[in-house]
Structure 1
């Protein structure tokens, strides 16, 4: 038996082979899961190309998490490939450049609102849209970057991650009676496409590898992906509203 034997998982955010989402989809398949991916707009072709590099080519369905039409159609679109969903992975985040890179005080509400909608509110939107296909034992797992402190250059994305973490707790409360778990994985810095788009990202990386008790490889997304897959499995049947840190242990160290 493998961790996800017989389970069906929806994974968002697969854009490159170096992404946490790609490694999550790959490991989920290796652990027995049927995987369906989402993408939208001009990214669809990129995701479809990357999907063919998985151990088993995965179908890609249209989903813009800011589109009411796409959200309303998600269950039907996924249902063409999977009868049910046992897991949903939220790997979605975006903030305009105007609210990153040391521009916290200059951030305007329209741009901040975009960051909050795409990076935090979308967790609720995705969970509700997928809910018709989920039953008891299903698991929703999102990705965060420790929002308990103020990071250099992260600015309003840090605020969005704090909102994401709070959203996950309320979702856990409201979906718990249905037997659906909601958890987050707080990863250390990974050089993904999203991270590289943050001006001054190297200030966050800093000397993370030296300060983390276990060390840290900013080019290796697999440890984070393994944690996501573990939370998707039934090995955490009574764990919800939790944030699992996969950062080499740095979050627990003094500055």
Structure 2
């Protein structure tokens, strides 16, 4: 978990102002509004100190990222993101992929909505999922296909489930970590990432309300976020 150690090590601390665990997303308010995917099974998970999370500091909550309880780990990633002030240029990485993916072999860890459109222009598109949909490959296929790809797109949820470091070791192509839960931190460049594609929450009240009310697809949050990218 060295990547997690490095993400947390230099962050400043402050109080947690609010926490929302929605059906699909988790939001933490501290210095900023940070989000992460809710990767857990709500009915089976016991979250430590539930009901008292807003009494913690953001760094204390960030330590939950080390947990193998996926809701706790999501809380931890959202807390990490709440302590980062996102920098970068405004760009929806889907546009980058559609322009630069023409004729390329692409491995996509996580089934992103752009996959169907990308499949039409890529030479090969391997979508790898823990819960495969029709046309997807199981996550065990990463070992075989990721090293063959010209472009590797990795969901930021791979930080939550602790698969991120192995995926980055396997990648020999241009590597992107993508999603609203992506930490906009230079630390990822140290692990071989070429592009960091995340968001900046510009309306935290609206964002937290939508998380609490069951918001799912990223498109539902577009009036509360800016899409940002950082390149090495």
- TM-score bin (small chain): under 0.3
- Higher helix fraction (1 or 2): 1
Report the TM-score, using the length of structure 1 for normalisation: 0.25
- Higher strand fraction (1 or 2): 2
